[in-house]
Amino acid sequence: MSTLYLGVDASTVARYVLFSGDPWRVEVLKQYLDNPRKVAFQREFNTYTGTYKGVEVTVTSTGIGAPSAAIALEEMYEAGMEVAVRMGTVMGLQDDLLGKFIIPIAAMRREGTSLSYVEESYPAVADVDLVNVMNETVNLMGAEYVNGINCTMDGFYSQMHDSRFSKESGRDMAGTFEELRRLRVTGIDMESSCLLTLGRLMGVKTCIVTMTTVLENLKETLQGQARKDAEDLLCRTVLEGIYRYDERNKDGRL
């Protein structure tokens, strides 16, 4: 029986699952898979399963934010997922991070969804083996990365980027950015801590691989072809990382 929202089951999902926020980034990922099979496109969840260098991989989307990301993780777990990688974009808090990878070792849980699963003292921590393989793969692809700590929050226009309403309401986001820099947080997103927390609770090896496409409050952004190239590199890097992880797993090195 297929799951409620994603429309997946054990026959259509691989043990390796890649999660993209953007449903259309899944279409980019699909181009690098051999024999991609469309599983379903329901609501914000666009799902394919195929192979990359002989390794079966499922790619799906979560939409924006922790609530829908938790639904995606839940239903992929129900269908038999064993390894999860969130691949997406991130807001960097250092000016030299634009166009670089952030592969966090952990994340601050300032979203509310993970709190519905476990108390806030429970850490959101990435799988070390996955992180190490993804680090090496980024280097192999000729790119740069940092292993920092992300902060995951719910409110884009209330916490991350000025809007007409936030200005009318007198919200000052500069204080939040300054606080996070003092805490040596590297980037801000809307999904990572939830996925890391749930993955750890489920016993699913989970990590986050993100590309810095904007800086705080969108003061600088990748645009046009630079943005497309960065997201394409993200897709290729994560797929190659899964292949390398699988090779090490088969060799008993993990």
pLDDT band at 189 (very low <50, low <70, confident <90, very high): very high
pTM, two decimal places: 0.96
CA distance 52 to 242: 9
Phi, psi of 116, rounded to the nearest 5 degrees:
-75, -10
Predicted pLDDT of residue 249: 87
Q: If you ran DSSP here, which 8-state letter would residue 64 be given? A: S
- Mean of the pLDDT values across residues 74-79? 98
Predicted pLDDT of residue 252: 75
Structure tokens at 182: 């003092």
**Partner residues linked to 149 by β-bridges:** 106
Extents of the domains making up the chain: 16-246
- Mean of the pLDDT values across residues 189-203? 98
CA distance 105 to 165: 34
pLDDT band at 133 (very low <50, low <70, confident <90, very high): very high
User: What are the E-state strand segments in 7-157?
Assistant: 16-20, 34-42, 45-52, 55-61, 83-92, 101-102, 106-110, 124-125, 145-146, 149-153
CA distance 25 to 4: 23
Model confidence pLDDT, tens digit, residues 4-25: 999 999 999 999 999 999 999 9
Q: What is 16-246's CATH number? A: 3.40.50.1580
Helix axes 224-250, 128-140, angle to 10 degrees: 130
